[in-house]
Amino acid sequence: MPAVVGATPDQPPGKHDAEVERLFGAGGPLGPAVGDYRPRRSQTEMAKAVADAIANQTTLIAEAGTGTGKTFAYLVPALLWGGKTIVSTGTKNLQDQLFLRDIPTVRAALQAPVSVALLKGRSNYVCHYHLERTLQNGRMTSRDDVGHLREISRFLKMTSSGDKAELARVPENALIWNLVTSTRDNCMGAECQYYQDCFVMKARKEAQQADVVVVNHHLFFADVALKDSGIAELLPSANTVIFDEAHQLPDTATLFFGDTFSTSQVLELCRDVLAEGLSNARDGADWGKVVTVVEKAARDLRLTFPQDIVRLSLPQIAPSSDFFPALQTLKDELDGMLAVLETQAARAETLEQCRQRGLELAQKLADWKFDPKARVEKGAEAVFWVEAYASSLQLHKTPLSIAPIFNGQREGVPRSWIFTSATLAVKNDFSHFSEQMGLDGEPSKTWPSPFNYEQQGILYVPQGLPDPNSMGYTDAVLDHALPIIEAAGGKTFLLCTTLRAVKRAAERLRDEFEKRGLPYPLFVQGDKGRTELLDQFRKAGNGVLIGSQSFWEGVDVRGDALSLVIIDKLPFAPPDDPVLAARIEVMEKQGKNGFMHHTLPEAIINLKQGAGRLIRDEGDRGVLMLCDPRVISKPYGKRIWQSLPSFKRTREQAEVIEFFKNKNSDS
């Protein structure tokens, strides 16, 4: 029986239990539709729990171990009984997978007459107006742009969705996309001459009419916070909301329920003010001069921090810093540009739009009030902090807890809310996730993976590793890892907690492979896009992939190509993170232990994601090598390894090498 947390043993059977048993059973309709489908008790039980939550319009927090088949466990009840359903997932890739593969498969198997729509953020859809403007202005930044623009023009004539994911020939991160898509700030709305053909409006209309709408978390929360993505109209009519990869929700919601002001928004506004001023009111002002002073003030603000990347809470910025006068200068210059726009805005709708954007930015700057001595704003429970990138600076105001805001969103019309992921609990305890999301007291259940981890894998913690904060730690990890990588014949993910470690590991392994004549192709995060790296890794069959955070989750490599996952150290959040520091400060004032209550559960959930890359199938066998001695030496170490899959455990290198010898002779 699956471990069920928060359920009473003598629960009466649910309304749809018998039908769920039939659908997921050996003779049910899912078998013929899915080539290698086999009934799994944990999948059937989870589907019953989801069907119950839908029938009773209640909330369910559902953790389903790898291999449970959670996607089908929530899709079957949703398509049959969910009414108007919103499915929100972690990434655009997963969105596409649900829309193009999983939902059509289940819909065909059930012969369910439901309509399905895909809704993405507006930056994913080509904008007729901005494409036309870019073709006319021809302000290309590179030769690639010219070719890409030609491809996009051709695509526009053939596509019915306008979704850039369909145009594989232009990379998703190509800069040209910024010039041919709209933002909430520069969309003309109903005033636009192309309004009838607008892909964003078309996608929203389809979403409103569909039975099932597939979105992603960013879009869901951008809408709830900004009322910008079309979900504002969807949510009131939804009977069921399902969050897949729900462990990502606290971070995503925090991002959107906060307020961010960025110097790049100012520079974009200046670019548009110049273009629209010269087009519509050339004689109204010296537009070049008007925008130049604002651009300079925005760039000067960024230059008050000489480093490349900075994250500082306000108390960490010295009162004597140039940052404060530079911030005042930007406020003053932005007000000056707004005064000019005020006199000219009546001459064109686009100028009025620029004025509105300017007013919003000025308001955000004005709201960024604070007491430099207090890390946390009194009353509003928000933290003020600054983040600098290579060419932009962001001012953030972030809520310390999203629970009250999210609870406000869930009030009102009764509907069912399903939160599911492979990693929501710490040793069957859901309180960390529940408290973050304001879901205290809601039913939560765990269905363990059907895999036989004791037979399929080993958890190996090497002996003799230094303290993870010591100099040369990455090299010490690689000294221990090299013999194991060789025993495995490549087929390795090396997951690092920092980009610096990724870089060092890549340099060292490149040298070692050459010196030792090891034929393992090396794939390094950043060299190519994530999808391309993974495709090449799978094809190689004996590759070594080095990655940081983006490879810890949402990555599925089945079979022999991945037999060893090495994690360099426990993924604790950096202690200098301003929001984390403020949250811990508040917890400790409440008498809680910030480390045990927040930092540790967060790291465990992250680690479970990384560990989950190893065994993806019933036939997979492999080793999880966890290189952090704190798992053994610290009192909290036990809580960590007890939360991981029940692998056989060892500290002996010889045992691991023997495991690979046997594995390789079997295959």
- For residue range 77-107, list pLDDT tens digits in order: 999 999 999 999 998 888 989 999 999 999 9
Strands of 412-478 (E only): list them.
Answer: 416-421, 444-447, 457-460
d(CA 381, CA 397): 10
Instruction: Please name which of 464, 473, 390 lies closest in space to residue 633, comparing C-alpha atoms.
Output: 464
Hey, which residues does 63 pair with through a beta bridge?
421, 446
Give the CATH superfamily of 451-662.
P-loop containing nucleotide triphosphate hydrolases (3.40.50.300)
**DSSP characters for 515-543?**
HHT----EEEBTTB-HHHHHHHHHHHSS-
Q: What pLDDT, in 10s, does the model give residues 547-566?
A: 998 888 888 888 889 999 99
Helix (H) or strand (E) holding 607, with range, is helix 600-611
Contact in structure between 475 and 512 (CB atoms under 8 Å): no
What predicted TM-score, i.e. pTM, was given to this entire model?
A: 0.86
- The reported pLDDT for the residue numbered 232 is 62
d(CA 419, CA 60): 6
Give the CATH superfamily of 257-397.
23S rRNA-intervening sequence (1.20.1440.60)
Instruction: Please name which of 628, 329, 376, 581 lies closest in space to residue 480, comparing C-alpha atoms.
Output: 628
**Domain edges within the chain:** 14-114+414-445, 120-198, 257-397, 451-662
Q: Is 460 helix (H, G, I), strand (E, B) or coil?
A: strand
- The reported pLDDT for the residue numbered 141 is 65
Q: Which ranges of 235-374 would DSSP assign to H, the alpha helix?
A: 249-257, 263-280, 287-302, 323-344, 349-367
Going by C-beta distance under 8 Å and a sequence separation of 6 or more, which residues neighbour residue 334?
266, 294, 297, 358, 361, 362, 365
Question: Mean pLDDT for each 10-residue chunk of the chain (667 residues)?
Answer: 41 86 92 82 96 97 94 97 96 89 94 94 92 81 83 93 90 86 84 92 92 93 64 80 96 88 94 92 92 96 86 87 94 96 91 93 85 52 88 91 88 92 92 94 94 94 95 96 96 94 96 95 89 90 92 86 95 87 88 92 93 90 96 94 93 95 76
- The reported pLDDT for the residue numbered 3 is 40
The pair of three-digit structure tokens given for residue 353, joined into one six-digit string: 């739009």
- The reported pLDDT for the residue numbered 98 is 94
Q: How far is CA 496 from CA 264, 485, 548, 601, 632, in A?
A: 30, 16, 5, 19, 19
- The reported pLDDT for the residue numbered 20 is 96
- The reported pLDDT for the residue numbered 554 is 80
Contact in structure between 605 and 432 (CB atoms under 8 Å): yes
Residue 282 burial by Cβ neighbours in a 10 Å radius (0-12, 13-18, 19+): exposed
Q: How far is CA 68 from CA 62, 79, 449, in A?
A: 11, 19, 6
